Amino acid sequence: MAEAFVQILVDNISSFLQGELVLFFGFENELENLSSRFSTVQAVLEDAQEKQLKDKAIKNWLQKLNAAAYKIDDMLDECKYEAARFKQSRLGRCHPGIMTFCHKIGKRMKEMMEKLEAIAKERKDFHLHEKLIERQAARRETGSILIEPEVYGRKKEEDEIVKILINNVSNAQNFPGLPILGMGGLGKTTLAQRVFNDQRMIKHFHPKIWICVSEDFDEKRLIKAIIVESIEGRPLLGDMDLAPLQIKLQELLNRKRYFLVLDDVWNENPQKWDNLRAVLKVGESGASVLTTTRLEKVGLVMGTLQPYRLSNLSEEDCWSLLMQCAFGHQEEINPNLAAIGKEIVKKCGGVPLGAKTLGGLLRFKREEREWEHVRDSEIWNLPQDESTILPFLSLSYHHLPLDLRQCFLYCAVYPKDTIMEKENLITLWIALSKGNLDLEYVGNEVWNELYMRSFFQEIEVKSGRTYFKMHDLIHDLATSLFSASTSSSNIREIHVRNYSNHRMSIGFPEVVSSYSPSLLKMSVSLRVLDLSRLELEQLPSSIGDLVHLRYLDLSRNVLLRSLPKSLCKLQNLKTLILNRCSSLCCLPKQTSKLGSLQHLFLDDCPLAAMPPRIGSLTCRKSLSFFIIGKRKGYQLGELKNLDLHGSISIKHLERVKNETKVKEANLSAKANLQSLSMFWDLYEPHRYESEEVKVLEVLKPHPCLKSLEITGFRGFHFPNWISHSVLERVASITISHCKNCSCLPPFGELPCLESLELHYGSAEVEYVDEYDVDSGFPTRRRFPSLRKLVIRDFPNMKGLLIKKVGEEQCPVLEEGYYVLPYVFPTLSSVKKLRIWGKVDAAGLCSISNLRTLTDLSISHNNEATSLPEEMFKSLVNLKNLHINYLGNLKELPTSVASLNALQLLHTNSCRALESLPEGLQHLTVLTVHGSPELKKRYEKGIGRDWHKIAHICIVDS
């Protein structure tokens, strides 16, 4: 880590010398001397970094160098901070405090030069060699599509394990547990994942549950995790005691042939396993547990079957994996590179992780000398036992360009097996780094390069955000190198937690169990401070003394009403997170002085107004919402010069007096804005309807917009820009409380529209899309990409389309909420359906045509005393059935019992419901709430029909 940070610091000193700050303070000679001292040691740092793994004296020397570098970095930061403070004062460069500050910093610089002189001389004792280091990453092959490498050489093992679990396991009394045993990096987890997803296992076992155990083998935690993974819908278990959790799990797994994977087990205590096994022994004959572990003793403790010892991969399979990671699907490979590569593969020792990381290392190298350098590295001479980091991982790190090293090592602050979020990690990188990483897109490139080099795995993209993990051994590498380069005397990051498993306490990052104001006074070098979820009532004014702070997280402090004025002194603050501070009513009036602020997150904050002149924060990229005020400095024109990214909500548009002022916001030029929400208050007085139309016209967004919401608009029609030409890329639209609009825009034309929500509309609207076959529009299909449709409270709605023309409409629709029967014929592919309010028997019967349906909710119909038998007869894929607020419903159709796929039945506030159909054999979870007779009839152990549902887990009854 030292070699990366020293280079960054040298660059910062050079930038300081070339900028205006050296004219402001002086220090030119001192900084040149400091740069010279660093340069004398910089060339040998790469050699020192490699040798520290075997030489403790070199390791200690690197720690001293790193600590000195961070102290000098703090001094440069203080110069930048004080210069900004002096410039903002009335006296400017004539401020008397400048002399005092220069004297203080000059004295500290002299002390640091003496320390660096000693450190530079000490290096001669280690006989270190000069080595060139790649400065920057080769920006290649960093596309957004994430593809995990193919699995090689494990088909035979997968087949053998599946056969053991299906064919050789039949005695539930012995409760078979099969351990997969092998050293780190052999691919135990990958093999277990393949077994878990094997089609034979899917057909044979139900439910299938995957739990990542790691080093925390806590019975209560594991039981909670198993329950959550087993029940679709994620039950809220709260802080339940162990005993009721044990009962709930047994109810859930009773008579089930379940398959449980406990991945990455380290527990060697037989008593802990016996306690968990006693709870699990309620399954049907054949229920099985598969564990993965590195430790022989763990296999003996947890397995009733002979451990399955995972062998090393053959050289041929290792070669295939390395080539896949190095060249992708390229068919022709330089034969000279191939010959060198096969020699490198022999050094992997048959470990898949080695082949994968070396392939990632070689991915960016195409010269023979580069491959020979990898083959002939001295790192291969390091011992290769499990107590050290395997040489191929160290080699991969030392071949990282400098701008990737710090970013990789920072990942060590997360505990093992943590699922990390890419976007959040990049924000923290920016807070702790210098130079290029001030730009998010560069951080994105860095992440992609680390992924390409196989430092990250198990990539998953959900709701536009990327999640991933690190292999244990790669995490060990990051931890060892990070710890070797840091010192607890210079804490740069603090996370205050009431629980201990959120972040590790290593080197600069520190986790403390409680907060006190004195904590801030002891940590003046902080860059990152996480005070989220602490129930803080106020923040001390000493927060303004943390002049180096870049990242402050105060989210979910529900008692926090205001922030101290001193917060606005933080000239280096880049990210301020205030999400879900539900009592926070205002921000300091001088918030506009936070000159470096890029991200201000305010989701679910009840602010009454914005601070004035928010537009002066020209570094701003993220702003959750903007509240329009009535005076200058609070108008929408404040957004004019902000390069906004992500999403923004604009509130109180009814306060706009002139559309020309709105035009100044220049939304149509903000190409990085992904989501735009516009709100007119429903209760404040509005201007003329025609004026509101003009306002919405000039709020035209950039064509790159992905999500649009309009609420409370009082105009008589929507603007022309809500069309194919402007919203070509939009994927989500919500229109709510626009009760004066007599027709809706042609949403059916939008090619990428996936979600459409319509709430509380005009009584004049009769069709969602009034497309006319004779209108001349070229589009043949309407709603070609629509997957989710919500229609609520349009009193005279007659149908989805005024005419059904051309090809199939809504061909991929999966979710329909609050829709009425007229929409049902368009739902041929629907999976989730929610029906709200009165629906006649014919409409309900038509649901039986929706064979793809997996989730059905029927609610708020007090007139229905029964549901038609026909509606359930063909719902062969229905898994979850919710029936809520049918106050006069007396019974369910007997056809419900024939739903073989049904797992969950939830009833709420069906007070007249007296019985359930017999034969609910496939049901996993039953929820009964607000049905007195039903609850009495099926009361556990004593109800007259309890025996009929005894095998079902009853939740929140």
CATH code where residue 532 lies: 3.80.10.10
Which carries the bigger pLDDT value, residue 38 or residue 195? 195
Range of 327's domain? 313-397
CA separation for the pair 207, 903 (Å, rounded): 10
Residue 684 backbone dihedrals phi, psi, to 5 degrees:
-75, 155
Whether the per-residue pLDDT at 803 is higher than 70: the answer is no
Predicted pLDDT of residue 855: 93
Q: Identify the band that residue 954 occupies on the pLDDT scale cut at 50, 70 and 90.
A: low
DSSP letters along 664-707, please?
TT-GGG-TTEEEEEEE--SSS----HHHHHHHHHHT---TT--E
Give CA angle at 371 (369, 372), nearest 5°.
Answer: 60
Q: Give 881-934 pLDDT, tens digit per residue.
A: 999 999 999 989 999 988 888 888 999 999 999 888 887 767 777 888 888 888
Of 827, 837, 845, 825, which is closest to residue 864 (Cα–Cα)? 837
CA separation for the pair 23, 26 (Å, rounded): 6
Average pLDDT of the chain to the nearest whole number? 83
Q: Identify the band that residue 340 occupies on the pLDDT scale cut at 50, 70 and 90.
A: very high
Residue 615 lies in a domain: no
Mark 781-800 as b/e (b = at least 16 C-beta within 10 Å): bbbbbbbbbbbbebeebebb
Q: Identify the band that residue 503 occupies on the pLDDT scale cut at 50, 70 and 90.
A: very low
Predicted pLDDT of residue 140: 39
Whether 637 and 721 share a structural domain: yes
Residue 612 lies in a domain: no
Predicted pLDDT of residue 809: 78
Predicted pLDDT of residue 951: 67
Whether the per-residue pLDDT at 36 is higher than 50: the answer is yes
Q: Which residues contact 727 (CB under 8 A, 6 or more apart)?
A: 703, 705, 708, 721, 733, 750, 753
Whether 171 and 291 share a structural domain: yes
**What DSSP element (H or E) covers 178?**
strand 177-181
- The enclosing domain of 414 has a CATH number of 1.10.10
Taking CA atoms, 910 is separated from 540, 861, 862, 934, 935, in Å, by 51, 10, 9, 9, 11
C-alpha 485: how far from its chain's center? 29
908, 933 in Cβ contact below 8 A? no
Whether the per-residue pLDDT at 327 is higher than 60: the answer is yes
DSSP letters along 516-547, please?
-THHHHT-TT-SEEE-TTS--S---GGGGG-T
Q: Identify the band that residue 70 occupies on the pLDDT scale cut at 50, 70 and 90.
A: confident
Instruction: Give the chain's length.
Output: 957
CA separation for the pair 582, 577 (Å, rounded): 13
DSSP letters along 68-105, please?
HHHHHHHHHHHHHHHHHHHHHSSSGGG-THHHHHHHHH
Predicted pLDDT of residue 651: 94
Whether 262 and 184 share a structural domain: yes
**Among 397, 432, 460, residue at a domain's last position:** 397
Whether the per-residue pLDDT at 173 is higher than 60: the answer is no
Whether 165 and 297 share a structural domain: yes
Whether 669 and 805 share a structural domain: yes
pTM (2 decimals)? 0.76
The pair of structure tokens assigned to 789 is 């449709």
Dihedral sign computed on CA atoms, order 496, 498, 503, 508 = positive
**Among 431, 461, 480, residue at a domain's last position:** 480
- The enclosing domain of 250 has a CATH number of 3.40.50.300
Q: What is the DSSP letter of 879?
A: -
Long-range contacts of 330-333, Cβ-Cβ distance < 8 Å, separation of 24 or more: none
Q: Give 818-839 pLDDT, tens digit per residue.
A: 876 666 666 778 899 998 888 8
**Greatest alpha-carbon span in the chain:** 92
Whether 742 and 891 share a structural domain: no
Residue 134 lies in a domain: no
Whether the per-residue pLDDT at 400 is higher than 50: the answer is yes
The CB density around residue 207, as the number of other CB atoms within 10 Å, is 18
CA separation for the pair 53, 709 (Å, rounded): 56
Whether the per-residue pLDDT at 744 is higher than 70: the answer is yes
Predicted pLDDT of residue 788: 92
**What DSSP element (H or E) covers 791?**
strand 788-792
Predicted pLDDT of residue 804: 57
CA separation for the pair 581, 63 (Å, rounded): 40
Predicted pLDDT of residue 168: 65
Taking CA atoms, 94 is separated from 78, 86, 89, 90, 91, in Å, by 19, 9, 10, 9, 5
Assign 768 to helix, strand or coil: strand
The pair of structure tokens assigned to 70 is 């961070």
Long-range contacts of 859-863, Cβ-Cβ distance < 8 Å, separation of 24 or more: 859/834, 859/835, 859/883, 859/884, 859/885, 859/886, 860/836, 860/884, 860/885, 860/886, 861/837, 861/885, 861/886, 862/886, 862/887, 862/888, 863/838, 863/888
Residue 137 lies in a domain: no
Dihedral sign computed on CA atoms, order 485, 490, 496, 497 = positive
Dihedral sign computed on CA atoms, order 653, 657, 659, 662 = negative
Q: Identify the band that residue 554 occupies on the pLDDT scale cut at 50, 70 and 90.
A: very high
Q: Give 202-249 pLDDT, tens digit per residue.
A: 888 888 999 999 877 889 889 988 888 876 545 556 667 888 888 888
CA separation for the pair 772, 401 (Å, rounded): 60
Distance between terminal CA atoms of the chain? Answer: 56
Could you identify the residue written with the tokens 């925390």? 216
**What DSSP element (H or E) covers 570?**
none
Whether the per-residue pLDDT at 504 is higher than 50: the answer is no
**Among 568, 593, 618, residue at a domain's last position:** 593
Residue 604 lies in a domain: no
Whether 172 and 293 share a structural domain: yes
Cis preceding linkage at 825, omega within 30: no
Q: Identify the band that residue 499 occupies on the pLDDT scale cut at 50, 70 and 90.
A: very low
Whether 250 and 274 share a structural domain: yes
Whether 724 and 829 share a structural domain: no
Q: Give 646-683 pLDDT, tens digit per residue.
A: 899 999 999 988 788 788 899 999 999 999 999 999 88
Residue 145 lies in a domain: no
Dihedral sign computed on CA atoms, order 940, 941, 942, 943 = positive
Whether 388 and 438 share a structural domain: no
- What helix, strand, coil percent values describe the chain, rounded to 5? 40, 15, 45
Whether 806 and 820 share a structural domain: no
Residue 603 lies in a domain: no
Number of domains in the chain: 7
The residue type at 641: N
Residue 523 lies in a domain: yes
Whether 318 and 302 share a structural domain: no
